């Protein structure tokens, strides 16, 4: 019988009202509570553990490192797949961190809920059922980290939360979902590409701020961040990777890695189309690293993992080219 391990970390899916209605909902439900009778309804053996009980806005690398290690131990003991249940606010980042550092071909599937169990039509159990179904399917092996939500199956590299409250919040623009769950089975639309080399896991990371460019951006905030001891910075730049002249001057003088991603939500940074001061080509000449198709949030995760591994600036550039390229 297929064996699946479930790690519960908290989030909306685990929340219930506090002592009074005015208190709002808080993480209270265990992994066993979340599963309910799902385990008896599925042709699989499910092992569940409550490893944390936090909102995903408070998620940290140490918690995810413990979860990763617990999952590896389950796989080594014969489990076929791992499901991680957490809040949706940082779920896309957790998924990408697992995608970068998960050392097994066994699938790791991340899910959660947009509606807490006290609301009408909560979506938690349906999402958990879909995640279990995906994790148990042999065709999910070798695909790295996946997100199962609202019956869609997303690749960690592409998935993003795109709405603050709708149940169909997760999207994979412009690539689209990998597949979907229907009638209790996974239907994949695309074959599994070869996985990229796995990076070392990180329990503690250095300060890597994420700053967004905008109208009348003087570069002063970026300068303050760099002077404050940041080990690296990700700039969510305009369009295909453009910043103001003031910000470009700060980037030119930066002594730590600066990664430039697009703030648009879909589409890559360019490399050689525009030539003005602050354009993508000028930033590359200054030593900035372009994120390619990686969004700013995923870029921050990758840069943190690489810095924690102590790699060189040249290796940071190589990794972003490797993982930010559309064909990778």
60/57 Cα distance (integer angstroms): 9
Q: What is the pLDDT of residue 235?
A: 98
Beta strand 44-54 with 2-10 is parallel
**Cα distances (Å, whole numbers) of residue 253 to 20, 150, 152, 288, 313:** 54, 46, 44, 11, 15
Decide: helix, strand or coil at residue 178: coil
In which band, very low, low, confident or very high, does the pLDDT at 24 lie, cut at 50, 70 and 90? confident
* Model pLDDT for residues 285-319, shown as the tens digit of each residue: 999 999 999 999 999 999 999 999 999 999 999 99
Residue 28: how many other CB atoms lie within 10 Å: 14
Span 208-263, pLDDT tens digits: 999 999 999 999 999 999 999 999 999 999 999 999 999 999 999 999 999 999 99
Which tens digits make up the pLDDT trace of 80-124? 999 999 999 999 999 999 999 999 999 999 999 999 998 999 999
Q: Report d(CA 136, CA 142) in Å as an integer.
A: 13
d(CA 328, CA 326): 6
Percent of the chain whose predicted confidence (pLDDT) is above 70: 98
- 74/53 Cα distance (integer angstroms): 20
The tens digit of pLDDT for each residue in 26-40 reads 988 999 999 998 877
CB-based contacts of 123, cutoff 8 Å, min separation 6: 113, 114, 115, 150, 167
Give the per-residue pLDDT at 179: 97
Q: What is the pLDDT of residue 18?
A: 75
Residues that are catalytic: 12
pLDDT of residue 286: 97
Spacing of C-alpha 52 from chain mean position: 18
**Lookup: tokens for 111:** 């899910």
- Determine the straight-line distance between the first and last CA of the chain, rounded to whole angstroms: 34
Residues 33 and 69: their CA atoms lie apart, in Å, by: 23
pLDDT digits (tens, 9 = 90+) for 61-72: 999 999 999 999
- pLDDT tens by residue, 114-171: 999 989 999 999 999 999 999 999 999 999 999 999 999 999 999 999 999 999 999 9
**Residue length, the chain?**
328
Q: What is the mean pLDDT of the chain?
A: 95
């Amino acid at each position: 019988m297929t064996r699946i391990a479930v790690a519960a970390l908290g989030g909306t899916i685990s929340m219930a009202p506090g002592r009074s209605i005015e208190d709002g909902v808080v993480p209270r439900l265990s992994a066993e509570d979340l599963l309910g009778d799902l385990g008896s309804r599925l042709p699989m053996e499910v092992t569940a553990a409550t490893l944390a009980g936090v909102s995903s806005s408070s998620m940290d690398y140490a918690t995810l490192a413990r979860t990763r290690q617990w999952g590896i131990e389950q796989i080594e003991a014969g489990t076929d797949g791992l499901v991680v249940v957490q809040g949706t606010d940082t779920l896309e980042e957790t998924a990408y961190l697992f995608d970068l550092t998960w050392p097994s071909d066994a699938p790791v599937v991340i899910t959660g809920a947009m509606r807490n169990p006290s609301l009408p039509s909560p979506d938690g159990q349906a999402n958990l059922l879909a995640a279990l179904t995906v994790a148990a399917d042999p065709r999910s092996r070798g695909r790295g980290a996946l997100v199962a939500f609202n019956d869609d199956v997303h690749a960690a590299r592409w998935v993003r939360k795109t709405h603050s409250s709708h149940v169909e919040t997760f999207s994979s623009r412009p690539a689209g979902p990998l597949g979907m769950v229907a009638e209790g089975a996974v239907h994949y639309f695309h074959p599994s590409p070869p996985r990229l080399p796995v990076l070392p896991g990180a329990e503690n990371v250095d300060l890597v701020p994420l700053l967004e460019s905008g109208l009348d951006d003087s570069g002063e905030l970026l300068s303050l961040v760099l002077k404050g001891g940041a080990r690296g910075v990700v700039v969510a730049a305009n369009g295909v990777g453009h910043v103001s002249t003031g910000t470009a001057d700060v980037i030119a003088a930066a002594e730590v890695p600066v990664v430039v991603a697009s703030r648009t939500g879909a589409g890559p940074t360019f490399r050689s189309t525009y030539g003005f001061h602050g354009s993508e080509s000028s930033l590359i000449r200054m030593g900035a690293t372009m994120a390619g198709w990686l969004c700013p949030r995923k870029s921050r995760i990758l840069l943190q993992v690489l810095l924690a591994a102590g790699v060189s600036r040249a290796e940071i550039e190589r990794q972003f080219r490797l993982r930010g390229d559309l064909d990778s």
